[in-house]
């Protein structure tokens, strides 16, 4: 039988593509009508879909119907204006168009030769961003350093940890792997722990240093110094320190300057994870949060969090790309080509874990071009203002407390327990979280700070306005009233 399948027919793409764009635009128009947090039960979809793929083609109309009836109920609406959980993951028209174009070209840009524009645009937009963030010159592509797009901040910290590990092992000998020690505060994202596991760092040599209420959950250089000194006395080798600007629990900021100097003094690699808060540092008034980045060997920020660039797009800069390439480069015959052999180009396959890579710089380029720096700055400022407003609302209600100083657009708060509450408000706040999220009206998340169950309200969805903040506050107040009445 003749094969009639035309998998990429330009006219079909035009017709279906228009329908899909209409569908997505309608989704955004009606996004507030859905429960923000999906309310389905585990395994719901298996009940709704057949056990095997169809033998014959189905219509796009039928697929749309299933998306409406079966898929959307299982979606948690990260782009809803009432989404305040975790940290945001922004979409935007510009980011979406960039994703579309990337899907359209569908290139795999592991080496320069596989699509020169993909590599070269990535180098250029990362230099643009480095300029917006006022990163030190060494992070620009003109010298030994430069930027690269990773899938996630987890991949970013893994690749620099591998580079740092191999760099120190070249100096002290491969047999010393089990003596290598990594330092970070207990507020550091678990991505670092995972990276240590993958990199073969002995579990006991990952120093999770206490950062408590007294330092607003930032890592004290004295605490780091003490740990480093103890390890040196024990014959261990400190080699990697990770600081965070905008920790995941409470958006705390580690003191980069002091920690960076300490790292330098002990010959350690200093990585700065600004996955969420890095975006704010394009505003002159927030740039000081990354003062001290001059001391860093590597710096990361997720454009896919708070920078209107659709997931995934994690930016990583290094001052010296050589250790990265030394750790991650392979040069099989089937990938050899003139430009690479002549060292005339960057091959980003040597800066990351996988070989294949998407044309992700397109969406960041679209965001920068269609919005421009000033709009991006106002966007960030607006979210921070809205978070400030939410913080003020909490302060008007004596049943609640703001738990840690607000940084950027994250507010950490809780419902105050009665003085004789046996778990100091743990269950009370857990129940409040559960109730507001089950209402479908808003979605917030939680953390634990100094043993207390704390609610996190992160402003950052692209459609959030003042009225959504007020509505969210009312939802929280109403559920708190019901909860307190039932005790």
Ligand X SMILES: Cc1ncc(COP(=O)(O)O)c(C=O)c1O
- Among the listed residues 159, 156, 209, 219, the one whose alpha carbon sits nearest the alpha carbon of residue 182: 209
Contact pick of 167, 179, 189, 456 for ligand X (by CB under 6 A) = 189
Name beta bridge partners: 147: 317
The residue with tokens 């479908």 is 440
Question: In the complex with ligand X, which residue's Cβ is closer, 161 or 236?
Answer: 161
Q: How far is the CB of 152 from ligand X (least distance, A)?
A: 3
In eight-state DSSP terms, residue 212 is -
Q: Could you tell me whether strands 237-244 and 269-273 are parallel, antiparallel, or unpaired per DSSP bridges?
A: parallel
Per CB under 6 A, does 148 bind ligand X? no
Residue span binding ligand X (CB under 6 A) among the ranges 127-135, 271-279, 327-335, 470-478: 271-279
Question: In the complex with ligand X, which residue's Cβ is closer, 247 or 407?
Answer: 247
- Among the listed residues 395, 387, 384, 402, the one whose alpha carbon sits nearest the alpha carbon of residue 449: 402
Burial category of 448 from C-beta neighbours within 10 Å (exposed 0-12, middle 13-18, buried 19 and up):
exposed
Phi-psi domain of 424 (left: phi exceeds 0; alpha: psi -120 through 50; beta: other) = left
Per CB under 6 A, does 276 bind ligand X? yes
Contact pick of 118, 180, 191, 228 for ligand X (by CB under 6 A) = 191
CB atoms within 10 A of CB 2: 3
What residues numbered 394-423 form the site for ligand X, per CB under 6 A? none
Contact pick of 111, 119, 154, 437 for ligand X (by CB under 6 A) = 154
Using CB under 6 A as the criterion, what x/- string covers residues 24-63 for binding ligand X? Answer: ----------------------------------------
Using CB under 6 A as the criterion, what x/- string covers residues 228-247 for binding ligand X? Answer: ----------------x-xx
Q: How far is the CB of 105 from ligand X (least distance, A)?
A: 24
In 72-228, which ranges are E strands? Answer: 146-150, 180-185, 206-209
3-state secondary structure of 236: coil
Report the C-alpha gap between 454 and 457 in whole angstroms. 10
In eight-state DSSP terms, residue 71 is I
Q: How far is the CB of 92 from ligand X (least distance, A)?
A: 18
Contact pick of 87, 140, 240, 379 for ligand X (by CB under 6 A) = 87
Per CB under 6 A, does 224 bind ligand X? no
Per CB under 6 A, does 275 bind ligand X? yes
Contact pick of 138, 218, 314, 409 for ligand X (by CB under 6 A) = 314
How many residues touch ligand X under the rule CB under 6 A: the total is 15
Report the C-alpha gap between 433 and 449 in whole angstroms. 16
Q: Could you tell me whether strands 206-209 and 452-458 are parallel, antiparallel, or unpaired per DSSP bridges?
A: unpaired
Per CB under 6 A, does 91 bind ligand X? no
Contact pick of 152, 382, 389, 424 for ligand X (by CB under 6 A) = 152
Q: How far is the CB of 469 from ligand X (least distance, A)?
A: 21
In eight-state DSSP terms, residue 418 is P
Chain residues in the site for ligand X (CB under 6 A): 87, 152-154, 189, 191, 244, 246-248, 273, 275-276, 302, 314
């Amino acid at each position: 039988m003749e094969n009639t399948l035309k998998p990429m027919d330009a006219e079909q793409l035009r017709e279906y593509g228009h329908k899909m764009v209409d569908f997505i635009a309608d989704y955004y128009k009606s996004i507030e009508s859905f429960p923000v947090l999906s309310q389905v039960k585990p395994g719901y979809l298996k009940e709704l879909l057949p056990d095997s793929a169809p033998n014959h083609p189905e219509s796009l109309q039928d697929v749309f119907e299933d998306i409406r009836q079966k898929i959307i109920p299982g979606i948690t609406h990260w782009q809803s204006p009432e989404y305040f959980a975790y940290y945001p993951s922004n979409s935007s028209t510009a980011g979406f168009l960039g994703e579309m174009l990337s899907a359209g070209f569908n290139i795999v840009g592991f080496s320069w030769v596989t699509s020169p524009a993909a590599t070269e645009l990535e180098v250029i937009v990362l230099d643009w961003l480095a300029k917006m963030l006022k990163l030190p010159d060494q992070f620009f592509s003109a010298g030994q350093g430069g930027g690269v797009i990773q899938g996630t901040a987890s991949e970013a910290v893994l690749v620099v940890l591998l580079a740092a590990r191999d760099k120190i092992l070249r100096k002290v000998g491969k047999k010393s792997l089990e003596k290598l020690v990594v330092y970070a505060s207990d507020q550091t994202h678990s991505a670092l722990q995972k990276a240590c596991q993958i990199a073969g760092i002995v579990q006991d040599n990952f120093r999770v240093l206490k950062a408590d209420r007294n330092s607003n959950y930032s890592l004290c250089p004295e605490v780091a110094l003490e740990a480093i000194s103890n390890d040196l006395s024990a014959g261990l080798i400190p080699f990697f320190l990770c600081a965070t600007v905008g920790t995941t629990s409470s958006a705390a900021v580690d003191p980069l300057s002091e920690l960076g100097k300490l790292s330098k003094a002990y010959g350690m690699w200093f990585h700065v994870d600004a996955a969420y808060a890095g975006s704010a540092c394009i505003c002159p008034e927030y740039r000081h949060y990354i003062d001290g980045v001059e001391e860093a060997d590597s710096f990361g920020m997720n454009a896919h969090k708070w920078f209107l660039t659709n997931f995934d797009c994690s930016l990583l800069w290094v001052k010296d790309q050589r250790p990265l390439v030394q750790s991650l480069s392979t040069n099989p015959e089937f990938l050899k080509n003139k430009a690479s052999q002549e060292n005339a180009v960057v091959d980003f396959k040597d800066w990351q874990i996988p070989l294949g890579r998407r044309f992700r710089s397109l969406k960041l380029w679209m965001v920068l071009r269609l919005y421009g720096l000033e709009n991006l700055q106002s966007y960030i400022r607006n979210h921070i203002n809205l978070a400030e407003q939410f913080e003020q609302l909490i302060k008007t209600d004596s049943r609640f407390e703001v738990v840690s100083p607000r940084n950027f657009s994250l507010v950490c708060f809780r419902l105050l327990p009665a003085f004789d509450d046996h778990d100091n408000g743990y269950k009370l706040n857990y129940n409040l979280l559960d109730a507001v999220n089950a209402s479908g009206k808003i979605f917030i998340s939680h953390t634990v700070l100094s043993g207390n169950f704390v609610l996190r309200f992160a402003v950052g969805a692209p459609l959030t306005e003042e009225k959504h903040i007020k509505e969210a506050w009312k939802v929280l107040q109403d559920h708190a009233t019901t909860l307190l009445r039932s005790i």
